[in-house]
Amino acid sequence: MIKEFPEYQDVLLSVIIKELDLKRSMEVDTEIILTYQSNSVEAIDGQANSPISDAVSTFDNDVFVGNDYNGDESDTTDDNDSDDNGEEDTAKIYLEEFNSPFAASGMPENPVHRFITTFTVLFASHYVVNKGSVVLIEFINELFKIYGQDFQLPKSLAGLHKMTGFLSITKGIKRFVSCPNCHCIYEENMSVPPHCVFTNVGARSPCGLRGTIIDPMHNLFLGTPKRMMDRWVDKKTIGAKEFAAIEKIAETMVLPRDYTKLTSKIGKGFPYMKADDWKSWVLVYSPVLLHDVLPFEMYNNWMNFVRACCYLIKPSITFDEVNSAHDYLEMFCKKATKLYTSTILTCNMHLHLHLRETIRDFGPVYGYWLFGFERYNGLLKHIKTNGKDSFEATYMRSFVQNAFKGDYDNAVLKSSSHVSFFNILSKLSPKFTPTTTVITLSSCPFRLQSFLLASSNPHLPPKGNKPLPPSTFPLQLKKLSLMDETDYAHLLQHYKTSYDLPDLVSYQYATLTNSFVDNEITKLKFIDLLGQQYRGKNGSASCGSLVHVMFVGSDSRNTLVYAGQIQYLFTHSFTHPSNSNLHLTRMVHDHQHVFAYIKWFNTSSDRSHEDDGLEFCLPTFSPDSCHCIVPVHHIFLEIATARITTSRNVSKMLVIALPKKLYA
């Protein structure tokens, strides 16, 4: 029978009736998507100056100027194009069928029947036990009869699975056995050797660890941080008074979304800490909170460990960075024996010195550290089994079905008439995201190296319309909106500077000239740049909105890094006036620019934490200018912040630069 989910009982009935009522008014057409291609236009690059004066800030006192910053937390693009012949190249793309792993020849062609069939099999897999599914199928078949439909579902769940091809998701699951000595895997129905046939070819490192993967999650975050904290507590280096003080600072800290907040755990002495908690402690909290708590030499030695972790956790890492991390870990271990005793070192800390070989042999840590395994353990334990034999296969079937339900939905539901019901399907398939319906062709494809240089070399500032990674934008975009007049003035000035077009005018004079900038924008909830997500400020929440951006100094030689907060992200269409008459019918994305509107924090003259990779700013914003309009290509990395009050009762903000996550 159906389990107790009353909200879905209502959904089930309303969905079926609504689909049947809409059947007669629906038409299914073959969709042809028009896309456009053109050549790019070169424009003169403008110099990007610093958002704030290079001089030392004069705001380091009790009187602040600017807007207050609330750091408390409450909660496809192309270049400018032109065609030599003045005509547009139009390409028709026909969406052809391919051999889908979810293909089901028995699925009905009628889009209404197809949706109800898909909904039924998903609903049964999510909320209905085997016997109850028969009752559900009978109920739906009766509704088909009442509404005069000539279609019926199979009378059994097995028949429904066969019709829909739903079992094809798990048809490749097999059972295997492993050798207890060498862990070699054999298929269960194959003949297994009577004894282990593995040949040990010998070790290549002094302690025999070369070729063995060391898990960085346990090695870095579940061993050393806890051992060092236990030592500091046992020796009274950190006591109740210090824990209370650092907890107050921790409460003011704003972290990105993918870091765990530790406010209460810090005050209680780090109870029940998981690896993800220790990771946040090492990378974000400890550089700030331990600075005035630990003795100078102990803190500096601890920062060697922190710097090594900042290198090692990167999804993309160079050999030079691997060597630097190894040097930091070696310094940390050697100095620890002098600051404490030789017994401070453990076998786990010795393994730090073998992480270099592990990464050289097996690549960046994201490919094999156990964070993902631990997360999936939490998912697997919620899967119910019947307590009989072969529960491993039951686990795997449920897991794989849940993982690929979204792909299954996209494969079997291709009609545009189903769009209004996608929200309901997302409740049955948490990972379901409708595929995009617009395909674009770019004459200037995305180039990884150019994209990476854009954020780290401000001498080559992008205008905002260079190609971005394919996964940058959310699939559902907001509607066009009018830009705030004050912000629009800065956008107009940005275009004048970056394109060297001093004669550009406001949209208010659009009837007089083609050299104008429109005031319509599309705001974005977030963008994803190769795995690094950035968001605009949402109310008083700041997660994901605090960033570092590089600028060229006033002398055109020095590179300066400024901290700011993204107010909102947006796309804007701008056509270069020199070729606007050739492209009166071009689609918006051909000249789409992607920007972040960023407010900049006032700088501080305090450099006391600079050697530790931390910087001081003031918790106030500098006046807005055209430098608030920043192409998203120019964002350097994400930051965290903490509020600190000095002995003179001056409020300052510490900025912690975090490792950049780029899956490239």
In this structure, is residue 29 part of a structural domain? no
Same domain, 398 and 510: no
Residue 585: its pLDDT value, please?
A: 38
Residue 263 lies in a domain: yes
Residue 254 sits in the same domain as residue 288: yes
Are 178 and 288 part of one and the same domain? no
Q: Which residues contact 142 (CB under 8 A, 6 or more apart)?
A: none
In this structure, the answer to whether residues 160 and 182 fall within a common structural domain is yes
Q: Position 198: which residue type? A: F
DSSP string, 595-655: EEEEEEEEE-S--TTGGGTEEEEEEEEPPP-GGGEEEGGGEEEEEEEEEEE-TT--EEEEE
Strands (E), 28-175: 32-37, 39-40, 67-68, 81-82, 89-94
- Give the number of domains in the chain: 4
Instruction: Answer yes or no: is 321 within a domain.
Output: yes
Contact criterion met (CB below 8 Å) for 291 and 274: no
Q: What local confidence, expressed as pLDDT, does residue 332 receive?
A: 95
Start-to-end CA distance of the chain, whole Å, equals 48
Full residue range of the structural domain in which residue 128 is found: 92-193
Q: Which residue has the tokens 């993967």?
A: 213
Q: How far apart are CA 255 and CA 288, in angstroms?
A: 13
Residues 399 and 488 in one domain: no
Q: Are residues 273 and 412 in the same domain?
A: no
What distances in angstroms separate CA 659 from CA 220, 468, 504, one per listed residue?
Answer: 16, 21, 39
| 281 domain residue, yes or no | yes
Q: Are residues 362 and 266 part of one domain? A: yes
Q: What is the pLDDT of residue 99?
A: 52
pLDDT in tens, 568-602: 999 999 887 765 544 443 433 358 899 999 999 99
Q: Which pLDDT score, from 0 to 100, does residue 104 have?
A: 63
Q: Considering the domain boundaries, does residue 19 fall inside one?
A: no
Residues 244 and 187 in one domain: no
CA-wise closest residue to 549 among 559, 540, 558, 541: 559
CB atoms within 10 A of CB 64: 16
Q: Tell me: do 286 and 305 sit in the same domain.
A: yes
Classify each residue of 428-462 as buried b or exposed e, where b means 16 or more C-beta atoms within 10 Å of its C-beta: bbeebebeeeeebebebeeeeeebbebbeebeebb
Q: Residue 280's pLDDT is what?
A: 93
User: What angle (nearest 5°) sits at the alpha carbon of residue 273, between those of residues 286 and 284?
Assistant: 25
The residues that bridge with 93 in the sheet, in sequence order, are: 33
Separation CA 70–CA 65 (nearest Å): 15
**Residue at a domain's end among 372, 398, 418:** 372
Position 637 in a domain: yes
DSSP state of 479: P
> What is each CA distance from 531 to 201, 256, 462, 467, in whole angstroms?
39, 13, 20, 16
Which run of H or of E encompasses 287? helix 286-289
Report if residue 69 sits inside a domain.
Answer: no
Task: Give the burial string for 567-583 (b: 16+ CB within 10 Å, else e).
Answer: bbbbbbbbbbeebbebb
Q: Are strands 516-517 and 505-506 parallel, antiparallel or unpaired?
A: parallel
Shared domain for 189 and 292, answered yes or no, is no
DSSP 391-451: HHHHHHHHHHHHHHHHHHHHHH---GGGGGGHHHHHHH-TT--PPPS-----SS---HHHH
Provide the 3-class DSSP secondary structure of residue 348: helix
Find the radius of gyration of the CA atoms of the chain.
Answer: 30
**Cα-Cα-Cα-Cα dihedral of 310, 311, 314, 318, to 10°?**
170
Please report the pLDDT score of residue 78 as a whole number.
39
- The residues of the chain scoring below 70 in pLDDT are 1-105, 128-130, 199-211, 384-390, 414-427, 429-444, 475-476, 539-541, 578-590, 664
- Whether 341 is covered by a domain: the verdict is yes
Q: What is the pLDDT of residue 433?
A: 57
Query: Are 615 and 470 members of one domain?
Result: yes
A 10 A CB-CB count for 298 gives: 19
495, exposed or middle or buried, with CB in 10 Å at 0-12, 13-18, 19+?
A: buried
On whether the CB atoms of residues 428 and 123 are closer than 8 A, the answer is yes
